[in-house]
Amino acid sequence: MQSNVRAKIQAFGGFLTAMVIPNMGAFIAWGFITALFIPTGWIPNEQFNKLVGPMVSTLLPLLLAYAGGKLIYDTRGGIAGTIGTIGLIVGANIPMFLGAMIMGPLSAYIIKKFDGMIEDKIPTGFEMLVNNFSLGIIGFILCLLANSFIGPAVQEANNIISIAIKALVSTGILPILALINEPAKVLFLNNVIDQGVYYPLGMQDALNTGKSIYFMVASNPGAGLGLLLAYAVFGQGASKSTAPGAIIIHFFGGIHEMYFPYVLMKPITIISMICGSACGIFTFQLFGVGLAAGPSPGSIFAYLALTPKGNFLGVIAGVLVAAIVSFVITSFILKVSKANNDEELNASMIQSKAMKQEGKDLFNSVTTGKNSFNNKISFIAYACDAGMGSSAMGASLLKKKLAKMGIDIKVEHFAIEKVPENVDLIVTHKNLYDRAKMVSGNKEIITIENYLKDTNIDMLIERIKQENNK
């Protein structure tokens, strides 16, 4: 029951991500314009500074609304979403990010339901007329309703949230957010937090000040760096050998999912992540720093690129402090308990290898409580939450391994909700299995724990090799 609830929350976060991530280039462009050209920016420019307001108040919310509407009902839904959302924007005195993330999908859902009701009732030859006028009329009504009722309600809700957040900031206890952020992240709920809460608040904050700490409270790569460094120095077996590669991908590539399995392997290390993240947030607060836009991915390069003038010392200090605190605590945990968990990890790997020797038909006959899978694999979907970070890396590694063996199989990466129907097999992290199962139909799902080196991937490659040798 709990895993099903978590899967649904993850799916909600994935939906938010699918609205935000495709538009991150636009958000980053706005961040650069803000960091460079506002009066306190690197190169103040009165003309270019005029771009800041219209982009954040109109362009970015409309992009979110279109993306959200398109997710629900393709292009027609995207158009309905933008029509409804412009009603929120006009007359509002705040950027309507939260409103766009509500109104875009809602408008698309309404037009989709309407189309379903009249699908078989349109006279032949009148399809285009009905489709165009129905979208126009429904969009017109949604726009007026949004402007008159939904917009003011969203603005009032936003004011309440802003007051609560400002009260939290004024108390100086913003680091307590780490108690929520870090456990949620390792359960793959990070996108619910970032895209659903912190990024909209950060954009509103950045409009007034040119920067925001909210972009940093959950995306700081420092704590994950410290944890992985501790595993690289004091870990054993697979955890020690894979940690250096994970460091590069996490810290420089910005794919934070790389450290999640290391926390899950030894759950007590969540303490080091919470403490490291909290100390990082405290340091950011102490220096009064922020970023100009949301860093996506959360790479140190993205952090530095989006750091406004005069904030570099505090930003770098916050990342380093988080890394040092996390490293020290994780190192202590590994030193006092390393034998138990590393033995468990090695035993798990040995057991997996033994399972492989017990039968080459393991994947063909069983897995995850679904039907037997005996068809030759020709299309593999590597799936993760957003369909960009860990899945892109995993798909690339798998393709390279297969290519070295002279095997040509289609391997692509997707967000879980976007996995196409014609795939033969889905690869995803074990903590995303319930969510993948909700949307995969009867597809075979193979789960992994480590993105760089996983026994189940080795078994999959061996299976494909056997199939191609038949």
Q: Which residues are catalytic?
A: 384
CB 402 within 8 A of CB 411: yes
Residues 6+ apart with CB under 8 A from 409: 377, 378, 379, 380, 402, 464
In the numeric block, which tokens belong to residue 103? Answer: 């109104």
**Which residues are bridge partners to 166 per DSSP?**
none
Element containing residue 446 per DSSP (H, E): strand 444-448
Residues 6+ apart with CB under 8 A from 265: 239, 341, 345, 449
| Amino acid letter, 8 | K
Place of tokens 């790479």: 299
Q: Locate the DSSP E strands across 263-378.
A: none
**Which residues are bridge partners to 428 per DSSP?**
447
CB 106 within 8 A of CB 78: no
Q: CB atoms < 10 A from the CB of 356, how many? A: 17
Place of tokens 């402007």: 147
Q: Residue by residue, what is the 3-state secondary structure of 138-192?
A: HHHHHHHHHHHHHHHHHHHHHHHHHHHHHHHHHHCCHHHHHHHHHHHHHCCCHHH
Residue 448's region, left for phi above 0, alpha for psi from -120 to 50, else beta, is: beta
In the numeric block, which tokens belong to residue 469? Answer: 């040798």
Rounded CA gap, 64 and 26, in Å? 10
In the numeric block, which tokens belong to residue 422? Answer: 């014609």
Nearest partner of 306 among 29, 48, 21, judged by Cα:
29
CB 238 within 8 A of CB 453: yes
From residue 460, alpha-carbon distances to 98, 354, 402 in Å are: 42, 15, 10
